[in-house]
A and B are shown apart, each in its own frame.
Chain A
């Protein structure tokens, strides 16, 4: 039996390859995602482990903070550093200054790494890392010495187009270095690039830009030239453990500072990054799973057709004495071999895909060294396991059907298997659809737990059920296509429509593969359109300012910009918004503390629940959710802990409804001052005087920051558009990832059509004999293909529409508007038609090349 199976495989090389292609792509995607995720993890692990010293002295509690540009003000003096260095446990103590508040312009004046990975500036020290190796490595030039000299990491220098010796334009941190209010233009500073220095070991920077200053240069740039440091990197003396080092350091550290072991820092950083990496892996993994499932459909369908075409051969085997089990096994062995070949090829495809993804992420600023993108044993094992299991599961039903072929079928003239009744399947399907609807509706009307999960479960049941009974559900689409094609293309169209209808299961299974992808496309499309519509509403409703000034890179900027803008003719009021992270009450995770001036309540009319919308002194305005979270009302007190264990008590003066304009916790600037936060603006809201020419004022405001790409001036519409742009970017990414499962579905159409064409050889010959030209024969195959793809598209888009609408309903508290992206849906339908045409190219050419005589000659 085994030999026969092997012969079968060899005899059908092309068919085998086509079917295996579905596995190759599905497994390729999976392996690619796994490889990419682990490469991403390794890149970050390498950076984290390679860049931490044995221990670090830092402002107390700063583990939980993220740098957002406006630095804390706590510093440590060189005397303190010297005291640390003198400890017997300490081999080396280096005062450090680091900041993410500086940005670099490339040679065209654009931000380097805009919006993606951070730009990290620090002073040059020779502190060794945990392993005793140097952290930084100079690859070209020399280390910076003068205050206006810097080194850049090689990749950033390359991206920005700078070479050693060039002048580099930088945007200094917001709170310093900005000229007086009289300055016409926000200044940029020029620094000289004297060397290229990156993390030692060449492990890459994950897209971050590294800027190395001399110590005095960093002090001049970030600490107004004071001879102080923000942190101290500690290296343990011979034989001293990290904990002993920390204990010794803590004894001499000034108030507000604490020492933390290197291991703990590594853990903290890995945890923080792990969450982000986990999200990426899951996000990509979902699409890989979808691709594999779609691939499974294709495999199941291909095997069904192959078995149907081999009925006589199988019957002959049975007549010659093969047992049912042997017949079934021969099909399953064939499937296994296909899975092994497909998975092997898939692994290589995956490796290529991982490299492709890496370069895609690289273009977004997150660079991954391709050295770490290797197939791990886990990935290889997972790929083979998934490939084989999915293929065997998919091939099982066809194999069982093959084993049921009666020996007498070998003797029958008419070998075309008639498809069994779909009634039972339809009945069960209908019941399942109702159950799915029930579960989804439960989600909409508010069953316990997460509504979206209820709907998700219902949706999965729906998709699988529709896929199983698509032969029945899709029939109206097929009939409509046939009618349309008959009308437009006459007999050719009629024959094509009939061909699509004659094997409902085959057509249904082929279309289902496409349906799955398009269901997601349409559901996601509805959600994205609803998000955009909701945004429009929110911006219209709540953002009552005429102009907003924000930083596209979330950088804080100098308050001088607000002063300059307030002097522009036509500007009536400019409200500054500042802020920093703080721990509220006993929280472990910091919250964003939103600081505003008095003008804020002039511009924005916040819907109030209780108290007053204005706040001064030690007062705070919080939103409803925050009031519920901390169980406070107007008059109650909240404690906010700023970095350096600066506690500030604030009294709740008002509670607003949840909104998008103000923060969860809003305080006047005086509170931030008490918290000793180095303040700079994160956004400005501007209202114009009555009768001011909005366009002219907008032009002038934009001109003010034209050379300052970390700040953007937007009117309401531009603001809404930029937010919608982000939604669309995500949407296109999802579409891009779904594209692969759609490509697999198209391969499925090619496969089905090719097999159908072979099966209908004699019929095609007859048609050619009685006068069907080659061109019309190709058209006939193409129209059949289009019918299949349109059926898949219509079912998928309709189902996705329903799911999308239900999801929007369940999320209606946040996603208030429902929008249906009709244009997109129609576009997808047209795209499906195009895909149908493309899928038919090869089978159509094959059909038209068949010799008329081969086709009609009796055996």
Chain B
């Protein structure tokens, strides 16, 4: 990875799911959070996973990101199958290949912004690529905040720090779980704009779970989940198309509940 990804759309698969099933609970009261999901997430693409509450979108992301183990099926990240990997290997994989942005509580309160950003590199014992670090910092516009602690920053700033942290180790794929869920619209726009640019300018692969059509409209591709299955897909979406799809899904769910 000495060569930095360029803005050109890269070919190939960054991560994929193969017939992923995830069930919770006992036999009688079994909940199928994932019901056989198979999907490829392409390199250099910004993908959104959408769906109503309980559709399994977070579970899918957790399984792909090596945070959770599926009941059956396999997830592959950057060519590595996760099935059967021990905790140690999973930890290493998360550290080396995956970046995370969570909805809340993204930062270690005792560390400064700079330290938080460099945490995955420090944990891996890797050297900082100073030019890359500078590029990321400038992209998120946090240069003057680097020595601040999380408690001294706004929610939007904290999320941008989290984004920078996810990018700085140049992971194969970044998973973002409702990254704008707790933010006002201005801050949301900043964070989403930055994620979009990191795909366009740095060729970063990003997968984002969201139920906000505005956020989803920043992406290249949207996967719609319902009842643990991928039920639809949208490329280069605009807001109206998303809203229409979501409404359709909601109607489907309502009809199902009634019928």
Chain A interface residues (CB < 8 Å from chain B): 490-492, 494-495, 498-499, 501-502, 762-763, 766-776, 852-853, 856, 858
- Cross-chain contact A771 with B94 (CB below 8 angstroms): yes
Q: Known A-B contacts: A766-B108, A771-B124, A773-B92. Give 5 more (CB < 8 A).
A: A490-B125, A492-B123, A775-B88, A853-B68, A856-B102
Q: Which of B61-111 contact A (CB under 8 A)?
A: 62, 67-68, 87-88, 91-92, 94-96, 100, 102-111
The answer on a CB contact under 8 Å between B120 and A502 is no
- With beta carbons under 8 angstroms apart, the residue of B87, B106, B110, B181 that contacts A498 is B110
User: Is the pair A770, B125 in contact by a Cβ cutoff of 8 Å?
Assistant: no
Is B221 interfacial (CB-CB < 8 Å)? no
Which has the most chain B C-beta neighbours within 10 Å: A762, A770, A772, A773?
A: A770
Q: Is the CB of A762 within 8 A of B123?
A: no
The answer to whether A858 touches B103, judged by C-beta atoms less than 8 angstroms apart, is yes
- In contact, A776 and B67 (Cβ under 8 angstroms): no
Chain B residues in 8 Å Cβ range of A770: 94-95, 100, 119-120, 123, 165
Contact B123 A772 (CB under 8 A): yes
Q: By the criterion CB–CB under 8 Å, are A763 and B108 in contact?
A: yes
The answer for the CA separation of A755 and B59 in the assembled complex, in Å, is: 29
Nearest CB to that of B87 among chain A residues? A774
Residues of B within 8 A of A767 (CB): 108, 119
Docked pose: A771 CA to B87 CA in angstroms: 11
A773 touches B88 (CB 8 A): yes
Contacts of B165 in A (CB 8 A): 770
- The distance in angstroms between the C-alpha atoms of A770 and B110, with both chains bound, is 16
Chain B residues with CB below 8 A from A776, complex form? 123
Please name all residues of chain A whose beta carbon is closer than 8 Å to the beta carbon of B102 when the two chains form the complex: 766, 769, 856, 858
Instruction: Determine if B40 is an interface residue (Cβ-Cβ < 8 Å).
Output: no
* A29 shortest CB reach to chain B, Å: 38
Chain A residues with Cβ under 8 A from B103's Cβ? 858
Nearest-neighbour CB distance to chain A for B119, whole angstroms, equals: 6
User: Number of contact residues on B: which range applies?
Assistant: 20 to 34
B67, B106, B122: the one within 8 Å of A852 (CB)? B67
Q: Are A502 and B88 in contact (CB under 8 A)?
A: no
A647 CA to B125 CA, complexed, in Å = 90
Name the B residues within 8 Å of A494 (CB-CB): 115
B67 proximity list for chain A (CB < 8 A): 769, 852-853, 856
Given known pairs A769-B67, A769-B100, A856-B102, the reply for A502 and B110 (CB within 8 Å) is yes
Residues of A within 8 A of B107 (CB): 766
In the complex, what distance in Å separates the CA atom of A776 from the CA atom of B123? 9
Instruction: Give, as a whole number of angstroms, the nearest-CB distance from B24 to chain A.
Output: 12
- Inter-chain contact A766/B62, CB cutoff 8 Å: no
User: For the complex, what is the distance from the CA of A767 to the CA of B109, rounded to whole Å?
Assistant: 12
Q: Could you tell me if B105 and A856 are in contact, using CB atoms closer than 8 angstroms?
A: yes
Residue of A nearest to B178 (CB): A858
Task: Given A769-B67, A771-B91, A853-B68, decide whether A495 and B108 contact each other with a Cβ distance below 8 A.
Answer: yes
Assembled-state Cα–Cα distance A795/B171 (Å) = 46
* A858 vs B179: C-alpha distance when bound (angstroms): 12
CB nearest neighbor in A for B181: A858
Give Cα distance in the complex from A673 to B62, angstroms.
100
Q: Shortest CB–CB separation between residue B174 and chain A, in angstroms?
A: 12
Q: Within 8 Å CB of B178, what residues of A?
A: 858
Give the Cβ gap from B81 to chain A, nearest Cβ, in Å.
19
Which of chain A's residues have a CB closer than 8 A to the CB of B124? 771
Q: A769 touching B104 by the CB < 8 A rule?
A: no
Q: Can you identify 24 A-B contacts, CB atoms within 8 angstroms?
A: A492-B123, A494-B115, A495-B110, A498-B111, A766-B107, A767-B108, A767-B119, A770-B119, A770-B120, A771-B95, A771-B96, A771-B120, A771-B123, A773-B87, A773-B91, A773-B92, A774-B88, A774-B91, A775-B88, A856-B67, A858-B102, A858-B103, A858-B104, A858-B105
Q: Which residues of chain B are near A763, meaning CB under 8 Å?
A: 105, 108-109
Instruction: Tell me, in angstroms, the Cα distance from A501 to B149 when the chains sit together.
Output: 15
Smallest CB–CB gap between A496 and chain B, Å?
10
Closest A-chain residue to B97, C-beta based?
A771
List of A residues within 8 angstroms of B100 by Cβ: 769-770
Shortest Cβ distance from A775 into B: residue: B88
List the B side residues contacting A773 at CB < 8 Å.
87-88, 91-92
How far, in angstroms, from A771 to B65 measured CA to CA in the complex? 12
Closest to B65 in A: A769
Is the Cβ of B108 less than 8 Å from the Cβ of A490?
A: no
Please tell me if the beta carbons of B109 and A502 are within 8 angstroms of each other in the complex: yes
Q: Which B residues touch A853, using CB under 8 A?
A: 62, 67-68
Closest-CB distance, A844 to chain B (whole angstroms): 15
- The docked-state distance in angstroms from the alpha carbon of A774 to that of B178 is 27
Map CB proximity to A onto B137-160 as digits: 1 under 8 Å, 0 otherwise: 000000000000000000000000
B125: which A residues are within 8 A, CB to CB? 490
**Which partner residue on chain B sits nearest A491 by CB separation?**
B122
Chain B residue numbers with a CB within 8 Å of A490 are 122, 125
Could you tell me the distance between the alpha carbons of A766 and B124 in the complex, rounded to whole angstroms? 15
Closest to B119 in A: A770
Chain A residues positioned under 8 Å from B94 (CB to CB)? 769-771
CA distance A446 to B133 in the complex (A): 67
Q: How far is the CA of A763 from the CA of B102 in the complex (A)?
A: 12
Chain B residues, Cβ within 8 Å of A491: 119, 122-123
The minimal Cβ–Cβ distance linking A857 to chain B, given in whole angstroms, is: 8
Nearest CB of B to A234, in Å = 83
Contact A768 B104 (CB under 8 A): no
Least Cβ distance of A415 to chain B in Å? 12
Q: Measured between alpha carbons, how far is A763 from B111 in the docked complex, in Å?
A: 12
Chain B residue with the shortest CB-CB distance to A763: B108
Chain B proximity of A784: nearest CB distance (Å):
11
Residues on the A chain within 8 Å of B88, using CB: 773-775
Question: How far, in whole Å, are A770 and B107 apart by their CA atoms in the complex?
Answer: 11
Give, as a whole number of angstroms, the nearest-CB distance from A549 to chain B: 68
Complex Cα gap A767–B94 (Å): 11
Cα distance, A499 to B110, chains bound together (Å): 7
- Chain A residue, CB-CB nearest to B90: A852
B69 to chain A, nearest CB (A): 10
Interchain CA distance A501-B66 in the complex, whole Å: 32
Q: Which residues of A contact B109 (CB under 8 A)?
A: 502, 763
Q: Assuming the A-B contacts A495-B108, A502-B109, are A768 and B91 also in contact, with contact meaning beta carbons closer than 8 angstroms in the complex?
A: yes
C-alpha spacing A769/B62, complex, angstroms = 10
Bound form: Cα–Cα A212–B67 in Å:
81
In the complex, residue of chain B having the shortest beta-carbon distance to the beta carbon of A855: B105
Bound state CA distance, A770 and B119, in angstroms?
8
Give bound CA distance, A490 to B115, whole Å.
Answer: 12
- In the bound complex, residues from chain A placing their C-beta under 8 Å from that of B119 are 491, 767, 770
A contact residues around B87 at 8 Å (CB): 773-774
Tell me the bound Cα distance from A774 to B86 in angstroms.
Answer: 11
Determine the chain A residues whose CB is within 8 A of the CB of B91 once the complex forms.
768, 771-774
Contacts of A772 in B (CB 8 A): 91, 123
Let me know if B95 and A762 touch, CB within 8 A. no
- CB A607 to nearest CB in B, in angstroms, measures 65
Q: Which residue of B lies closest to A490 (CB)?
A: B122
What's the minimum C-beta distance from B113 to chain A, rounded to whole angstroms? Answer: 15
* Bound form: Cα–Cα A62–B67 in Å: 87
What is the chain A residue whose CB lies nearest that of B155? A413
Task: Tell me the complex Cα distance, A784–B139, Å.
Answer: 36
A491 to B128, CA, bound (A): 14
Give the nearest-CB partner of B107 in chain A.
A766
B111 contacts across to A, CB distance below 8 A: 495, 498
- What 5 pairs across the A-B complex have the smallest Cβ distances? A771-B95, A498-B110, A491-B122, A773-B91, A771-B123
**Cα–Cα distance between A57 and B203 once the two chains are bound (Å):** 111
A121 vs chain B, min Cβ distance (A): 73
Measured between alpha carbons, how far is A490 from B111 in the docked complex, in Å? 14
Q: Which B-chain residue is minimally distant from A418 (CB atoms)?
A: B151
Assembly CA distance A856 to B165 (angstroms): 16
* Chain B residue at minimum C-beta to C-beta distance from A777: B91
Least distance between A758 CB and chain B CB atoms (Å): 15
Rounded to whole angstroms, the CA-CA distance of A498 and B109 in the bound complex is 10
How many angstroms between the C-alpha atoms of A770 and B95 in the bound complex?
Answer: 6
Give B118's nearest chain A residue, CB to CB.
A491
| A768 vs B92: C-alpha distance when bound (angstroms) | 10
Bound state CA distance, A775 and B91, in angstroms? 11
Contact partners of A498 in chain B: CB under 8 A: 110-111
